[in-house]
Amino acid sequence: MVSVLVRRGQAVLLIALVIALAVLTLAVVYRVFAMTPAYVYQRSIYYVFKYNPTLVAQGLVLDMNTALLGFARNFSQYMVYDGFNLYLYSIAGVTPVYMSLTELLKEVYGMIVNTVYTPTGLAIPTSPSNVQFSYITNYYGALGTGLRYIYSGGYSSAIFINVTGSYNMPTLGVYNLTLNSVFNLTVSLVKPSTATCTGSLNPITYTATYRCLFNFTSNTYTCTGPGFSKTGVANNPWAPRYGSSLSYIPGTGWVAGSGVNTLMLVYPIDELNGPSGFKISALFKVSSSKFLIGLNFLAQYPSSSVPLTTGYTYYVTPSGVYFNGNNIYSKGKSPAVGDLENLTVYIVPNAPYGVFDSTPTATLYLYLNGSQVYSTTINLPAWHYVYSSAFNNYAYIFSGQSNLNPSVMLGSWVVVLLSNAVLNAASFKLYSTYQLPTSVYMAVSLNNAPAVGSGLSLSIVKPSGGVTVVKPGYLGFNYTVCNITSNAVIFSVTMPNLNNLTSQLRGYPYYQYLLNVSYNGVNLLLNPWAAGSLKYYGLWSINNIPGGYSATSMGPYWLIIYNTTSNTLLYVFPLWNGGSPTLLEIYQGFYVTAYISGIAYYYTGPVKLPGFLNVMGQLYANYTAYTYSVLLTHEPTGYVMVSEVTRLPPSAPNPVTYTYYIWEFQHFPNQILPYVYFSYTIMDCTGVGQYSGVSYSNYALIFITPSNTQNGVLLTYYEPGSGGQPC
């Protein structure tokens, strides 16, 4: 009996345990699946909003605004660090970044709606949300790359995002409800007036000076400018004539015997990179009583005849001082053997002048040992629009004609002349003068209403050095709200006076001074000292950039460097930028086969920057995105030398004959230059200016690398024997 009761008690206890476990299991399941925060939130919304559809609509709009503001914040940060990516569509043929960002915004907002509103029937989308997105940032950042720079070229900046959604609310009895949310932040420079703010621009005159000194005794050079410094081997960018007896002796310099010997600087010097003037100097040591020392400048090609057949020539002999064959100054006592003689030419363009379809002039000053011996007015080369029958189009040719009799062709090359003398040193200086406003005025609006609560800071951007943020009260930077109109807050901004800063801080135009406008975490940048902004304020005094642009990228010359050892050609294009620093993005993932008369002769490889020719500094970074390899090249004001390497098969023709081919250049394949003006340019031919009716010639130049470069000679130039065929 006892045993039976025990077994029954055990059975009851076992049943009770099973029931308890079942209850606990149901409780856990209910807690996990029925009482999640989303479920509670949905039920709360349902009961609170059940009798008030307006609250549901307000909640949807609030969620729209939250997603939209988060997107705007992230996009503005993206533009600062990797904004250049938005221009990869020129390479990819699509806009992958742009599309992914807008799709992300759709997904974020859709997730909120589908999680909170749809399960309870409060709001069911009738179609996917429509996102309209546009941006006119006028800046693109590369802080996330090795360049660590932000490029800005405009006087306005904006971001516009519009999200529209259509919903049915069956639980509430509402159908086909359309909701809309807009975020439109706009920043732009404005001119002082009674409608904005009264005041003045208070411009300062600021001159950027670039210097390069080549010491041939030590075979070193130093180039400096605002914000940068570079050193290198002095002989690298200089080339004697092929077959010349001119020789380099370490510790002495370039030594010349009898006859006219020439040494060419393989870097353009003209008013394009010295718009406010440029100087060229050479220091000689006389080694015989029968000597000749001189400078040939603004030459279309190097020549060894005296007087020269191109450019202007200033030279000294025992009998006197000459300019293009005319004796302009009697020296008196002739230099003795061992004397040092310093020749300097100083060219100052006559303002106002333009470099497109005009004949700019300049005042030329000639100096001997620091004393002025002559001055006159000369013509300068410029861009002239000519027709090309070879390409059946119009293109710009960079050339000019002198105002001498007889007239000669003009270009950008400098050639040193010497006979029975030693060249110890040479130098050049380039001047660019700017009118920079120290007071600027800026309007900030949000959805066409004053963006009250906006803040300002100043960002000094240094190539490869990143950003230095300047807060109000430092370096002379400050701002105040000077007016609030019906649609904008107007700021009066005081910019730093560069003439009062140290050279380490000055840096312009190599450094960029950007105004950073922040509203609720969304940032937009303006460049008040970009060429476009200065034009807007009427302070851009140099007519060297077409309207609406802040930079240029045009190739005036075609250089060929033939390496006899590797049997390769280096095609070099000096690219000219007449305005604010800009960026070149060049796709590197291809090789191009070039054909001449239907026969494949050589393969063109990736684009590079020849460091031995970029005496004014070079800055580049390799970047890989998706499946694309891109060369990012910083293009500062002035010239940057860009090249492509090609390998020649044995069947290729003699490279020195290549100058008989006409070349036309617009930009490298898949080059991206937002806000930058570039046009077709043509080389190695003669054309007639469309507007002037004058004939202009441009010559391609060939350089040969000797098989033995141990004697300090890296390049020799091949003097054009003929050329100038019709374009």
* Span 47-62, pLDDT tens digits: 444 546 777 777 777 8
Q: From CA 623, how far away is CA 88, in angstroms rounded?
A: 11
Mean pLDDT confidence for 559-578: 85
pLDDT at 669 over 70: no
The one-character DSSP state at 122 is S
**pLDDT digit string, tens, across residues 343-383:** 999 999 997 778 998 899 999 999 999 999 999 999 999 99
Q: What are phi and psi of 389, to 5 degrees?
A: -75, -25
Q: When comparing pLDDT for 670 and 189, which is higher?
A: 189
Q: Return the domain boundaries, the chain.
A: 1-35, 39-184, 189-204+438-524, 206-434, 551-718
Mean pLDDT confidence for 602-610: 67
The pLDDT of residue 125 is 82
The pLDDT of residue 357 is 84
Q: From CA 108, how far away is CA 99, in angstroms rounded?
A: 14
Q: When comparing pLDDT for 305 and 45, which is higher?
A: 305
Radius of gyration for the chain, computed over Cα atoms and rounded to the nearest angstrom: 34
**Residue 562 CB neighbour total at 10 angstroms:** 20
The pLDDT of residue 124 is 81
Q: From CA 158, how far away is CA 203, in angstroms rounded?
A: 26
Q: From CA 517, how far away is CA 444, in angstroms rounded?
A: 8
Q: From CA 75, how far away is CA 101, in angstroms rounded?
A: 8
Q: From CA 564, how far away is CA 649, in angstroms rounded?
A: 13
The pLDDT of residue 333 is 65
Minimal CA–CA distance to 83: which of 36, 136, 14, 10? 136
**pLDDT digit string, tens, across residues 462-475:** 988 889 999 999 99
Q: From CA 232, how far away is CA 723, in angstroms rounded?
A: 34
The pLDDT of residue 516 is 95
Superfamily of domain 206-434: Exo-inulinase; domain 1 (2.60.120.560)
Mean pLDDT confidence for 446-465: 93
With bands split at pLDDT 50, 70 and 90, how would you rate the model's confidence at 294?
Answer: very high
Q: Which residue do the tokens 């490869």 mark?
A: 464
Q: Per the structure block, which two tokens stand in for 395?
A: 């293109």
Distance (Å) of CA 574 to CA 25, 273, 405, 610, 681: 78, 11, 30, 11, 12
With bands split at pLDDT 50, 70 and 90, how would you rate the model's confidence at 700?
Answer: confident
With bands split at pLDDT 50, 70 and 90, how would you rate the model's confidence at 6?
Answer: very low
Do 725 and 660 touch, CB atoms closer than 8 A? yes
Q: When comparing pLDDT for 485 and 11, which is higher?
A: 485
Distance (Å) of CA 586 to CA 85, 113, 606, 619, 638: 12, 43, 9, 14, 19
Mean pLDDT confidence for 121-130: 78
- What average pLDDT does the structure give for the chain? 81
β-strand pairing of 421-437 with 478-484 = unpaired
Instruction: Say what percent of the chain tops pLDDT 90.
Output: 43
Do 409 and 310 touch, CB atoms closer than 8 A? yes
Say how many CA atoms lie within 13 Å of 661 toward its Cβ.
17
Which spans in 481-576 are helix H? 503-506, 531-536
The pLDDT of residue 423 is 98
With bands split at pLDDT 50, 70 and 90, how would you rate the model's confidence at 692?
Answer: confident
Mean pLDDT confidence for 17-36: 34
Instruction: Give the E-state strand segments of 275-336 in sequence order.
Output: 277-286, 292-299, 312-317, 320-323, 326-329
Q: From CA 440, how far away is CA 442, in angstroms rounded?
A: 7
Minimal CA–CA distance to 269: which of 575, 715, 638, 571? 638
Q: When comparing pLDDT for 594 and 52, which is higher?
A: 52
Name the strands in the sheet holding 466-470, side by side, starting at the edge strand that comes first in the sequence: 466-470, 455-462, 512-519, 522-526
With bands split at pLDDT 50, 70 and 90, how would you rate the model's confidence at 8?
Answer: very low
The pLDDT of residue 34 is 36
**pLDDT digit string, tens, across residues 68-94:** 888 888 888 888 888 887 766 544 444
β-strand pairing of 522-526 with 551-552 = unpaired
Q: Per the structure block, which two tokens stand in for 85?
A: 């990516």
Do 600 and 593 touch, CB atoms closer than 8 A? yes
The one-character DSSP state at 83 is G
Q: List Cβ neighbours of 565 (8 Å cut-off, separation of 6 or more).
A: 705, 707
Do 421 and 285 touch, CB atoms closer than 8 A? yes
Q: What are phi and psi of 8, to 5 degrees?
A: -65, -40
Task: Please classify residue 197 by burial: count the beta carbons closer than 10 Å to its beta carbon, then call 0-12 exposed, 13-18 middle and 19+ buried.
Answer: buried
With bands split at pLDDT 50, 70 and 90, how would you rate the model's confidence at 442?
Answer: very high
Q: From CA 596, how far away is CA 667, in angstroms rounded?
A: 21
Q: Which residue do the tokens 């400050």 mark?
A: 478
pLDDT at 268 over 50: yes
Amino acid at 282: A
Q: What does pTM read for this prediction?
A: 0.86
Q: Which residue do the tokens 């029954």 mark?
A: 8
Q: From CA 116, how far away is CA 122, in angstroms rounded?
A: 9
Do 455 and 292 touch, CB atoms closer than 8 A? no
User: What CATH number should be reported for the domain whose range is 189-204+438-524?
Assistant: 2.60.40
Topology match between the domains 189-204+438-524 and 206-434: no
Q: When comparing pLDDT for 233 and 178, which is higher?
A: 233
pLDDT at 548 over 80: no
Mean pLDDT confidence for 398-422: 94
The pLDDT of residue 39 is 39
3-state secondary structure of 423: strand
The pLDDT of residue 1 is 29
The pLDDT of residue 480 is 96
The pLDDT of residue 522 is 94
Mean pLDDT confidence for 658-665: 71
The pLDDT of residue 93 is 45
pLDDT at 180 over 90: no
Do 256 and 418 touch, CB atoms closer than 8 A? yes
Instruction: Give the E-state strand segments of 266-391 in sequence order.
Output: 277-286, 292-299, 312-317, 320-323, 326-329, 340-349, 361-368, 371-379, 382-388
Q: List Cβ neighbours of 246 (8 Å cut-off, separation of 6 or more).
A: 240, 254, 255, 256, 261, 262, 263, 418
